[in-house]
Amino acid sequence: MQSETERIRVLLAITRLELGGAQRVVLHTARKLDRTVFDVALAWGPGDLLDDEAAAISELERIPVPTLVRPVAPISDLRALSSLRAAMRSFRPDVVHTHSSKAGILGRFAARLVGVPAVHTVHGFGFTPLQAAP
C-alpha cells in the first residue's frame, strides 16, 4: 500500500501510437491521471502519427521502444521484451497497464519477469469471422 505522500507509479504500454481508438484511450489516460496521485510513464514503439501528441503531455515519462513493432518478428520481439523489462526496472512501476496485442503480450511478460502486477485492456479483436487474416 502507498503512503499518503507516495504517488502510484503507472507504466502504460502500447505497441504503436497510430491513429486509432486504443491509442486515443492511452493518450487520454496519460494526460488525465491526477499527477498528485500518479507518476505516469508511457512505453511505445515510436514512429507514428500520434508521437507528437505524447510528446506534448506534461509530467509524462516517455519510453520509446523502437523494436516494439506490430508484425511478429522474433528478434525484434526479444529486444522489445528486454527493453520493456529494463524500462520497468528503471521506472519501478506499481502497476503496468498494457494495450494492443503485441504490447499486451510482451508488456505483461516483462512485468511478470520483474514481479510487477499488470492489467490489460482489450480494445477490439484483430480477426473476426467477417475479416480475413493478413
Domain that holds residue 21: 8-121
Flag whether 26 is in a domain: yes
* Strand, coil or helix: 4: coil
- The CATH number linked to 63 is 3.40.50.2000
Work out the mean pLDDT of the chain and round it to a whole number: 91
**Is 130 a domain residue?**
no
Check if the beta carbon of residue 3 is closer than 8 Å to that of residue 23.
no
pLDDT computed for residue 2 by the predictor: 56
Q: Look at residue 17 and tell me if it is in a domain.
A: yes
Residue 104 lies inside a defined structural domain of this protein: yes
Domain assignment present for residue 133? The answer is no
Cβ atoms of residues 75 and 62 within 8 Å: no
Number of domains in the chain: 1
> Is 1 inside a domain boundary?
no
Q: What angle do CA 111, 83, 45 make, to 5 degrees?
A: 100
Q: Whole-model pTM above 0.85?
A: yes
Asked if pLDDT for residue 133 goes beyond 60, the answer is: no
Task: Answer yes or no: is 92 within a domain.
Answer: yes
Confidence category of residue 124, pLDDT binned at 50, 70, 90: confident
Structural domain contains residue 134: no
Per cent of the chain over pLDDT 90 is 80
CA distance 108 to 127: 21
Per-residue pLDDT at 125 exceeds 80: no
Give 43-101 pLDDT, tens digit per residue.
999 998 899 999 999 999 999 999 999 999 999 999 999 999 999 999 999 999 999 99
